[in-house]
Amino acid sequence: MKKLFVLAIACLSFVLTAQEKPDYQSIANKVVNQSLDVKPGELVVVSGTPAELELIEALLVEVSKAGGHCSVELNLPKANHKAIMETPVKYLAMVNPYPLFQARVVDCYISTGSVQEPALFTDVPEEKLKAMRMRNIALRDAFNRAKYRSVSIGQTGGIPSQSYAELVGMNHSDMLNNFWNAIDTDYEMMRIDSDVLKTYLKAGSIVTVSSKEGTSLSFNLAGTDIRTNCGDCTKLNNDGGPTAAWLPAGEVYACVDPQSANGLLVIPHYTYNGEILTDLKMTFENGVLTDLSGNGNLDRIKEALDSNPKDKNCLSIVDIGINRDRKYTEGTQYASWEMAGMLTFFIGDNSWAGGSVSSQYSMGVHAPLHSMEIGNTELISEGEILLLDDMATK
C-alpha cells in the first residue's frame, strides 16, 4: 500500500508566504466540509505527530461543528522507535486487533504528518521491520475492503520540515511555499487532464520508458481500472472499497501486468529509512526484478526484497504526476508523486491499487526527467508532460 494510513485532502485555497503560518482553521474547514463532506453522526479519526498539534486541534473543532465524532490518535516517533528497538520480535509480529475493529466503524480518516528526524529509524534491524510488515498484511487487507473516506496532508516527506528539506537539498521556505501552492491549484483542470490521460492508459497497452541516465524499459498495462488522485474522496470506488486522496493531489496510476516488464530502470536517488542512495539500477526480466545495484548501502533493501517470494518482486504500478503547479527541481534529491511529468514505479504489492500482486513488501521509486511513450504516442519528454489539452485534440 502506498502508505497504510497515508490519507489526503482536497481543494485548499490559500497562498502561504515564507513568513506566514498556514490558516489552519481555513484548511480544516475545507478538509472536513469539502474534501470529506463529514455528515452528522459520522466517526472521524484524526492522526498526526506533536509537530501538527495546531492543525489537529483545528480539525477536531471542524469535525465537531459538522456533527461528527472526532477521535484523535497521536503518533510519537521517538517513543515508537524506542518501543521497536526494545520489543522482542515475537511481539512485534502480533497483529493489533484494534485497527481491525476500527476499520469496521470509522467513516473518515484524516492524516497529518511530517518527517522531523529523517534518520530516526535507520538503525532498526531488518528482522524487526519484516515482523511488522508481516503483521500489517492483515491490517492492509482489512483496510482494502473497508468502506471509508480518507484524506492526507502531505506526499513524499509529508508537510515539509527543516530537517527533511536539508536531507533532500532543498531550501525549506521555498519547499514549503511550493507545497502549499501546489495544494492551491486548479482542480477542475486537473480532473480534465486526468480524464484525457486515462484514455491512453488502456489494458494491454505497451509502455516504453527511457532517460538520458540509461533507463530503457518496456511493460504492458494490466486490465484493472485506472485510478486517479485529484483530491476527491467523497465517492466510493467501483469495487466498493475505500477512497483516498493525497495532497498535493495530481496523479493517474495504473497496474502493470506483473509478468511483462523487461529492461533497465535507472533511479537517480532513492531514500530508504533516512538514507539516500544514488544511481539505483534495477533490471527486470519478464516482470521480475533480477538485479539491483547503486551507490550506497543496498543491503537493507535487498534484505527487504528477499523477504518476498521472488515472483512478488515485480514491476506492479506506474504512476504519472499531473499537478501543473508542482515541478521537479533539477539538481535536488526531492521528488514526489504529483509533480507534473514525474513517473513513479512500484515494485511488489499493488493490492491497494486494485492489482493482483499481494505481498508483505513493496517499494516505490521516483523517476524524474524520464520520457514515456504509450504505443506510438509520446506522453512525457524528459520529465515534461505534454500539454494534455492539446493531446485531446489529436
> pLDDT of 238-272, one tens digit each?
556 788 888 889 999 999 999 999 999 999 999 88
* Residue position matching grid coordinates 511513450: 373
Angle, CA of 91, 93 and 95, to the nearest 5°: 95
Say which amino acid occupies 239.
Answer: D
Q: Where in the chain does DSSP place strands (E)?
A: 43-48, 69-74, 108-112, 149-153, 206-210, 216-220, 227-229, 243-247, 251-255, 262-272, 275-285, 288-295, 315-321, 343-348, 362-367, 371-374, 377-381, 384-385
Residue 139 has pLDDT above 50, yes or no: yes
Q: Would you state the pLDDT for residue 28?
A: 87
pTM equals: 0.82
Residue 388 has pLDDT above 80, yes or no: no
Residue 1 has pLDDT above 90, yes or no: no
Mean pLDDT computed over every residue of the chain: 87
Interatomic CA distance for residues 224 and 234, integer angstroms: 21
Per-residue pLDDT, averaged over 7-32, amounts to: 59
What are the strands of the beta sheet with 288-295, ordered from one edge?
A: 288-295, 275-285, 262-272, 216-220, 206-210, 371-374, 377-381, 384-385
The domains of the chain, with CATH numbers, are: 24-391 (3.40.1830.10)
Three cell numbers written together for 164: 527533511
Q: Which of 200, 328, 330 is nearest to 252 (CA)?
A: 200
For 98-136, how does the pLDDT look when each residue is reduced to its tens digit (9 = 90+)? 988 888 899 999 999 888 888 898 899 989 998 998 888
Q: Are 233 and 151 in contact (CB under 8 A)?
A: yes
Say which amino acid occupies 108.
Answer: C
Q: Would you state the pLDDT for residue 214?
A: 97
Q: Would you state the pLDDT for residue 136?
A: 85
3-state secondary structure at position 157: coil
Task: Give the whole-number percent of the chain exceeding pLDDT 70.
Answer: 91
Q: Would you state the pLDDT for residue 17?
A: 39
pLDDT band of 373, cuts 50, 70, 90: very high
Task: Give the whole-number percent of the chain exceeding pLDDT 90.
Answer: 49
Residue 156 has pLDDT above 50, yes or no: yes
Q: CA-CA distances (angstroms) from residue 288 to 103, 260, 307, 373, 375? A: 33, 8, 15, 21, 22
Size (the chain), residues: 394
Q: Are 241 and 224 in contact (CB under 8 A)?
A: no
Residue 143 has pLDDT above 60, yes or no: yes
Beta-bridge partners for 207 = 219, 374
Greater pLDDT, 130 or 91: 91
pLDDT band of 20, cuts 50, 70, 90: low
